[in-house]
Amino acid sequence: MAEFDLIARYFTRPTNEAADLGIGDDAALLRVSDGCQLAISADMSVAGTHFFPETPAFDIGWKTMAVNVSDMAAMGALPKWATLSLALPEVDEAWLAQFSRGLFACAERYGVALIGGDTTRGPLNIAINILGEVPVGQALRRDGARVGDDVWVSGPLGSAALWLQARLGKISLSDAEMQGLAPAMHHPQPSVALGLALRGVANSALDLSDGLLADLGHILKASQVGAVLDWARIPRAENLPDTLPLEVLQRAVLAGGDDYALCFTAPVTQRGVIQAMAADLPLPLSLIGSIVAEQGLYVRDGETMLACTATGYNHFGESQP
């Protein structure tokens, strides 16, 4: 199949006026809304590093788009356009059909138009660039946390990490437990509506891709502050076996990756607004700690302080699938 036919068949959909010019020319043409800045981000998925070779193509398509959309959510931006750069070892039409279904299912769910890309032969590698809009000055950056801010997190943490631990044979979970955790791993639901609602409310925000401690650490470093969290308040995966060691659970919740929840800080005066937001969206939003002047990140578990050496996932450290 010629490259041009492949693009036409699997990656060209009506862009419903999302772009002045979409796929098919040397470049796409976009118009940015008045008063808005462009938010641009990139995320790549590589076979063997970001997903297991046997992962269904639909799931790979969904997740690759979702992790990009999540970066827009974390910025308080409205995702609008994406490009797809694809290296394929071979033209496997069954794979491409499912991959494209998953990719567009996520893109359409979040109103993202695919406006271009590149296709080449090579080891399976999927790179998406995403573009969104945010009113000038309203983006949710990492450097805005202030001493006294509450620290909030959306959604339960640790589900994807526990699924991965079990898939790697490091812990043992039943099929039913695995099925309960799998959607978090394969079909993350980026919190775009939350990101938009947090404009003008949150002082800082990011999405959790590498684990709570590592990612919140980026906010602390950029804002030159510290934080104290309360283990008991951190929302976690439910319906897990009683036999799961606490240490495994804590590691998944605090340092596991792939949650794609948002972590944000906001002044104490915004508590009521944020609680109303949780009811409106609806989305579980948990107040898990506060920003302090002394730098460092501490997690209090009752009377004891957890050692926070469990930094987030490191791409050049621990081995991956």
Site for ligand ADP, rule CB under 6 A = 7, 11, 23-26, 84, 86, 114, 116-119
Asked if 3 is part of the footprint of Mg ion (rule: CB under 5 A), the reply reads no
| Among the residue ranges 42-50, 118-126, 178-186, 280-288, the one whose residues contact Mg ion (CB under 5 A) | 118-126
Q: How many residues bind Mg ion (CB under 5 A)?
A: 1
Task: Quote the CA–CA distance of 288 and 127 in Å, as a whole number.
Answer: 34
* Residue 24 contact partner, candidates Mg ion, ligand ADP, none, CB within 5 to 8 A by sort of partner: ligand ADP
Task: Quote the CA–CA distance of 223 and 18 in Å, as a whole number.
Answer: 36
Amino acid at 271: R
Q: Which is nearer to Mg ion, 72 or 88 (CB)?
A: 88
CB of 85 to ligand ADP, least distance (A): 7
Q: How much of the chain is helix, strand and coil, in % rounded to 5?
A: 35, 25, 40
Task: Enumerate helices (H) and strands (E) in the chain, giving the number of each.
Answer: 9, 11
Q: Count the neighbouring beta carbons within 10 Å of the beta carbon of residue 248.
A: 17
Q: Which of residues 178-237 bind Mg ion (CB under 5 A)?
A: none
* Residue 260 contact partner, candidates Mg ion, ligand ADP, none, CB within 5 to 8 A by sort of partner: none
CB of 121 to Mg ion, least distance (A): 12
Task: Quote the CA–CA distance of 100 and 57 in Å, as a whole number.
Answer: 8
Q: Which is nearer to Mg ion, 118 or 280 (CB)?
A: 118
Asked if 118 is part of the footprint of Mg ion (rule: CB under 5 A), the reply reads yes
CB of 131 to ligand ADP, least distance (A): 13
Q: Which is nearer to Mg ion, 5 or 118 (CB)?
A: 118
Q: Which is nearer to ligand ADP, 23 or 139 (CB)?
A: 23
Q: Which is nearer to Mg ion, 89 or 284 (CB)?
A: 89
CB of 240 to Mg ion, least distance (A): 46
Q: Which is nearer to ligand ADP, 67 or 164 (CB)?
A: 67
**Strand duo 36-46 + 113-121: pairing:** unpaired
Q: Which is nearer to ligand ADP, 26 or 175 (CB)?
A: 26
Identify the residue whose tokens are 């919140």. 216
Spell 249-269 as b/e; 16+ CB within 10 A means b. bbbbbbbbbbbbbbbbbbeee
Q: Which of residues 145-184 bind Mg ion (CB under 5 A)?
A: none
Task: Quote the CA–CA distance of 202 and 180 in Å, as a whole number.
Answer: 31
Q: Cβ(59)–Cβ(99) under 8 Å? A: no
Of 5, 25, 28, 35, the closest CA to residue 113 belongs to 28
CB of 73 to ligand ADP, least distance (A): 23
Point out which residues bind Mg ion (CB under 5 A): 118
